[in-house]
Structure 1
Amino acid sequence: MFKKLLASVGIGAAKVDTVLETDTLMPGQPFRATIEITAGDVEQDISGIELALVTRAEVETDDGEHNENIKLQKWLVQEKVTLQPGETISVPFEAMLHQETPITALHCNSNRCQVWLATGLEIDMALDASDKDPLNIVPTDAMRAFVGALENCGYYLNSADVEKGFLRGDGFASSAGAYQELEFRPQSGGLFGIKEVEVSFVPESNRTHVLMELDRSFRGDGFISVTLEHSELSQDAIEQYLQQVLN
């Protein structure tokens, strides 16, 4: 009984570790992992094993700003299982990252984007055992083409963050509950030009929607959205489009 009580407060209890096949992924990419659960000193009934895709997002309220962990996806890896003392079980797992997973592999002055997989054991009458695995999220081909075209137009990526909420553009809307903002600034801007371009991607399987917020001197903010068809992706065409809308 004493050991059972210790396990219920996390002493001598089960531990969990998620081993990823790779931690470098793109939004919408399938991934594989093995969830390893190692029992503690006593028999334990685990009501479930959960895996979640999580990001850190800024939240704006009337009282100011704060950060909050947002679950973009959640999976039930395995239902109820009983672990014997010292036992180790391995559970193979396959899934697909959310299409709107924020990019973390960015080169900029301020990159506040974080994404990780969190694994937890739902242990009856116990503290959750948890495991946190950071992910290196790289841009898709469409994202790279758009960023490359914007850079060729004379802009550089200054900062990146994730904000809680949803986006809506011309014929599309986001669904993840958090969205990424990439802030670009002109390499050399005039007094009356664009001071800042904020870019957000809303990808789908065959196309990527882009929402841009343009901050123009003396003219305030304006929004422009465009859809990139993956089958017709051309960085040159994107660059020509940007040259028109950014002038």
Structure 2
Amino acid sequence: MLNKLKASLGIGAAKVDTVLDSIEVFQGGELSGTVNIVGGDVEQQIDAINIVLNTEVKVETEDSTSYENFSLGRIQAVDAFVIQPGETKQVPFRMLLNDETPVTALNALKNQSHVWVETTLDIDFAIDPKDRDFVVVKPLPVVAKVIEAIEASGMSMVKADVEKGFLNGNTFASRSGCYQEIEFRSGGFVNTKEIELSFIVEGQVIHCLAEVDRSMSFRGDQYISFSLPVNASDSDISNAVSRVLSV
């Protein structure tokens, strides 16, 4: 009885450790790995193994800014089972990334974009054991080339974060409830220019919404949206970026 009470408090309870086959994945790619469970001091029923893909989003109101965890998707890896004291169990899994999962592999001066997998054992009347594994989300080649073209114009990537809300381009819209902003800034002291890029993967197409702000402009923020196939030519990418830079 004492062991059961201690297990309900997380002492001597089952433990979970998720091992990813690779911590690196491209936008729109798939994560895979194995959930390792080790039984504790007493028999316990595991009602589910929940694997959740998370990011951190910025929430802005009129008078404050806060941050909260945001779920981009989840899977239940296995049905209910009982694990005996000291027993080990391995459960393989595969999870497709949400198309709007933010890119984390960015060379920004201030990179606030983070993505992780959280694994939870669902145990009745007990503290659920958890494990967190961070993931490196790499830009697809076409996205990387857009970023390189912006930087080649003389602009520096200064910040990347994830906002809570929705995007609307001319022919596309976001659906997840959050979106990433990758901010670039020119090196001028007087007439500075800022560009914020947000990307959405949709099958074999990459959508981009660019917000352009010039410090000495009286027109306010300007928005340019474009879409490129994942196998876009260098000339198509150059033309799209030129539209953004010309604003």
Question: Smaller-chain TM-score range?
Answer: over 0.9
Q: Which amino acid aligns with 1:236?
A: S
- Alpha-carbon shift at residue 189 of structure 1 (Å): 7.1
Aligned to 1:229: 229
Post-superposition shift, 1:202? 0.7
Structure 1 counterpart of 2:209, one-letter code: L
Please state how far the C-alpha of 1:29 moved relative to its aligned partner.
Answer: 0.8
Q: How does 1:7-26 map to 2 (within 5 A)?
A: 7-26=7-26
Query: Paired residue for 2:44?
Result: 44
**Aligned equivalents of 1:75, 1:241: Cα separation in 2:** 37
**What corresponds to 1:128 in structure 2?**
128
Q: Which runs of 5+ in 1 are unaligned?
A: none
* One-letter amino acid of the structure 1 residue matched with residue 119 of structure 2: T
**Structure 1 pair 45–190 and aligned structure 2 pair: CA distance change class (3 A):** same
Partner of 2:202: 204
Q: Is the CA contact (8 Å cut-off) linking 2:212 and 2:244 kept in structure 1?
A: no
Pair 1:213-2:206 in alignment: no
Looking at structure 2, the residues matched to 162 and 58 of structure 1 have their Cα atoms a distance apart, in angstroms, of 6
Verify: 1:177 aligned to 2:177, yes or no: yes
Offset, 1:166: 1.5
Paired letter, 1:227 = S
How far apart are residue 222 of structure 1 and its match?
A: 1.5
1:135-156 C-alpha deviation (Å, 9 max, x unpaired): 1111111211111121222222
1:180-191 to structure 2, matched below 5 A, reads 180-188=180-188, 191=191
The equivalent of 2:241 in structure 1 is 242
Question: For the residues of structure 1 that align with 2:133 and 2:241, how far apart are their CA atoms?
Answer: 37
Report the equivalent of 1:80.
80
SS where residue 221 of structure 2 aligns? Answer: strand
Deviates more, 1:235-244 or 1:141-150: 235-244
CA distance in 2, matches of 1:168, 1:152: 27
- 1:63, CA displacement in angstroms? 4.2
Change (3 A) 1:188 1:70: same
> Does the 8 A contact of 1:148 with 1:235 survive in 2?
no
> Unpaired runs of 5+ in structure 2?
none
How far off is 1:163 after superposition?
A: 1.0
Identify if the C-alpha distance between structure 1 residues 44 and 64 changes in structure 2 by more than 3 Å, giving closer, same or farther: same
State the one-letter code of the partner of 1:131: D
CA contact (8 A) 2:210 2:244 kept: no
Structure 1: which amino acid aligns with 2:39?
A
CA RMSD of aligned residues (A): 1.5
Q: CA deviation at 1:214?
A: 0.8
Q: Distance in 1 between matches of 2:171 and 2:239?
A: 22
How many aligned residue pairs are there? Answer: 244
Looking at structure 2, the residues matched to 41 and 135 of structure 1 have their Cα atoms a distance apart, in angstroms, of 32
The two structures have a TM-score, normalised by structure 2, of 0.94
Instruction: Output the CA distance in 2 between the equivalents of 1:85 and 1:241.
Output: 60
The answer to whether the Cα contact below 8 Å between 2:38 and 2:86 also exists between their aligned partners in 1 is: yes
Partners of 1:39 and 1:244 lie apart in 2 by 59
Equivalent residue for 1:145? Answer: 145
